[in-house]
Each structure stands twice: as structure tokens, then as C-alpha cells.
């Protein structure tokens, strides 16, 4: 009987000790868990900060890159009637492209894009809901290169004197009335024309009297060459 009681007391004593040990271990684990959560949170916050700084840096780099690629050259000249006109040439140095914006006396602006990559010239008039394209010629390449050279030399403005300027005329006949597929003309022309239809044109000696002039534009280049371009429909 005494032995049984002693055994029971011994069992109770061991159980009490185990319970005491477990109670001692539980509070010891809680600080470790809190410490682990704290450092994980700090690491996550640090990662988010680094990610945000990286994204901001990439965005600023892209913006600065675009700004450094585009160069504006403003050209002032006199048209065939002696009226002063202004045009702006936007140069894309790294992409072999120059876009010229000419504002007429009626305050309408026509954009002329010289796309060296695709070898095309595109005309977009604010007065018309259409675009017109033709193949680039050697003279176009030389004129574009002159503007690019000016931008590289940091020339921002140019005054073209009328008495030193050679004017010539171009008549471009519009081919047919079915627009071309925009996917075949390159992304620059697509961007310039938006959703407007695009038509091919080709040079002709000049329209006959019964053919109506669609619209005309005077464009001048830094090499003292100006061209008056007129559009008209060819018979189908």
C-alpha cells in the first residue's frame, strides 16, 4: 500500500515537473516567433522599397532617353507670295526619321514625315481626313540628312532668305480611291495617321485644267531648297 502511494506520488511529481518545463518553454518560444515575424516584415519592406526605386529609375531613364532622341529645329521662310511662314522639324536621331509641321496662313497644319527606315514620305493635312504616301527619293534623303546634321550641331532656329532660295513645284496624283493596308506602311506612319485612310501618290508633270487641286503645301529645307507640293486625284 505504501509502495503504491509512493509510486503515485512519484508519478505526480514527474508530471508536475513536465508541466513546469512545458510552461517554461512556451514563453521562451514566443519572443523567437515575434522576432522572426519582425525581421520578415523588415525584409519585405526593404524589398518593396528597392523595387519602387528601381521602377522609378527605369521610368526616368526612359523619359530622359526620349527627350535626348527628339530634337526640334525651327525654320522660318517666305512663301512664293513673300509671306513669312514657320515650320518645325522634329528629328529622331536614332531612328532616321524627320517630321516637319508646317502651319499655313489659314492656321492649318500639315505634317510631313520622312521615314528613312521604311523609305517613305507621308503627308497628313489638318484640312483633310486622309494621309498620302510616296517612296523616298535621293533628294529626300539629302534634305533629311541636312536637318539631322543641324540638330547634331545644336542649331535650333534657321532663317531662310527668299532671294537665296530655290523653289520648285511637285504635283502628286492620288492613285485610286481604295486605301492601303496600314500594316504595310510601318508604325510611324500608322501613329501619324491614326485611323485616317492612307493613299498612294506618284509624281506627275502637273494636273490638267479639269482636274481639281486637292490641297497644296510649301516645305523648306536648310539647304535653301523649298518645294510647293500639290495633290490632285488621278482618273480611275
Structural domain contains residue 65? no
Phi, psi of 197 (to 5 degrees): -65, 150
Tally of domains in the chain: 1
pLDDT digits (tens, 9 = 90+) for 92-120: 877 789 999 998 777 888 999 999 999 99
Structural domain contains residue 14? no
pLDDT digits (tens, 9 = 90+) for 132-159: 999 999 999 998 888 888 887 777 777 8
Q: Mapping DSSP to helix (H, G, I), strand (E, B) and coil, where does residue 127 land? A: coil
Q: How far apart are CA 70 and CA 90, in angstroms?
A: 6
- Cross-strand partners of 230: 171, 216
* Dihedral sign for Cα atoms in the order 102, 196, 190, 236: negative
Q: CB 96: neighbour CB atoms within 10 A? A: 17
State the pLDDT confidence band at 12, using cuts at 50, 70 and 90.
very low
Structural domain contains residue 61? no
Structural domain contains residue 88? yes
Q: How far apart are CA 133 and CA 101, in angstroms?
A: 16
Domain carrying residue 124: 70-233
Structural domain contains residue 26? no
**201 pLDDT higher than 90:** yes
Amino acid at each position: 500500500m505504501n509502495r503504491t502511494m509512493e509510486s503515485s506520488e512519484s508519478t505526480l511529481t514527474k508530471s508536475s515537473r513536465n508541466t513546469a518545463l512545458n510552461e517554461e518553454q512556451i514563453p521562451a518560444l514566443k519572443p523567437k516567433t515575434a522576432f522572426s515575424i519582425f525581421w520578415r516584415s523588415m525584409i519585405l519592406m526593404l524589398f518593396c522599397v528597392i523595387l519602387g526605386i528601381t521602377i522609378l529609375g527605369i521610368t526616368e531613364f526612359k523619359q530622359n532617353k526620349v527627350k535626348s532622341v527628339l530634337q526640334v529645329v525651327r525654320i522660318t521662310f517666305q512663301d512664293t507670295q513673300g509671306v513669312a511662314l514657320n515650320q518645325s522639324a522634329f528629328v529622331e536621331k536614332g531612328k532616321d526619321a524627320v517630321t516637319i509641321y508646317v502651319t499655313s496662313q489659314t492656321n492649318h497644319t500639315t505634317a510631313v514625315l520622312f521615314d528613312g527606315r521604311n523609305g517613305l514620305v507621308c503627308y497628313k493635312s489638318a484640312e483633310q481626313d486622309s494621309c498620302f504616301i510616296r517612296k523616298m527619293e535621293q533628294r529626300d534623303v539629302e534634305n533629311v540628312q541636312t536637318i539631322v546634321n543641324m540638330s547634331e550641331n545644336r542649331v535650333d532656329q534657321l532663317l531662310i532668305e527668299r532671294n537665296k532660295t530655290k523653289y520648285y513645284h511637285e504635283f502628286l496624283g492620288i492613285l485610286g480611291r481604295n486605301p492601303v493596308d496600314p500594316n504595310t506602311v510601318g508604325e510611324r506612319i500608322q501613329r501619324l495617321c491614326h485611323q485616317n485612310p492612307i493613299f498612294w501618290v506618284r509624281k506627275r508633270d502637273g494636273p490638267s485644267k479639269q482636274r481639281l487641286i486637292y490641297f497644296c503645301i510649301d516645305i523648306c529645307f536648310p539647304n535653301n531648297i523649298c518645294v510647293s507640293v500639290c495633290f490632285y486625284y488621278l482618273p480611275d
